[in-house]
């Protein structure tokens, strides 16, 4: 749950046996794992998204005005 995307190295661990083991044999010695490889995560690419330009905004404004005038005339 505490993984932050970084590869921790070295990693230490102890293995616990069942409760049937004696206190002297219940736990293993401390073991160490070392990871000697670089992270090969793909780089993040930003993708552009089309936005409204001046022509599109002008057309939308004209359409809005046209619709509003037809609504006013019918009232």
- Digit-coded pLDDT (tens) for 33-51: 877 766 677 777 777 777 7
Residue 59 placed within a domain: no
Look at residue 48 in the predicted model and tell me its pLDDT. 77
4 pLDDT band, cuts 50/70/90, is: low
Give the global pTM. Answer: 0.31
Q: Into how many domains does the chain fold? A: 1
- 66 near 56, Cβ under 8 Å? no
Residue 68 placed within a domain: no
Domain carrying residue 12: 8-36
CB neighbours of residue 65 within 10 Å: 10
Look at residue 42 in the predicted model and tell me its pLDDT. 73
- 14 near 30, Cβ under 8 Å? yes
Residue 28 placed within a domain: yes
């Amino acid at each position: 749950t505490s993984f932050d995307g970084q590869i921790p190295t070295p990693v230490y661990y102890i293995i616990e046996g069942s409760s049937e083991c004696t206190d002297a044999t219940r736990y293993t010695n401390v073991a160490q794992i070392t990871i000697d490889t670089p992270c090969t995560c793909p780089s993040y690419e930003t993708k552009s998204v089309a936005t409204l330009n001046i022509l599109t905004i002008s057309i939308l404004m004209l359409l809005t005005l046209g619709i509003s005038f037809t609504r006013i005339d019918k009232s």
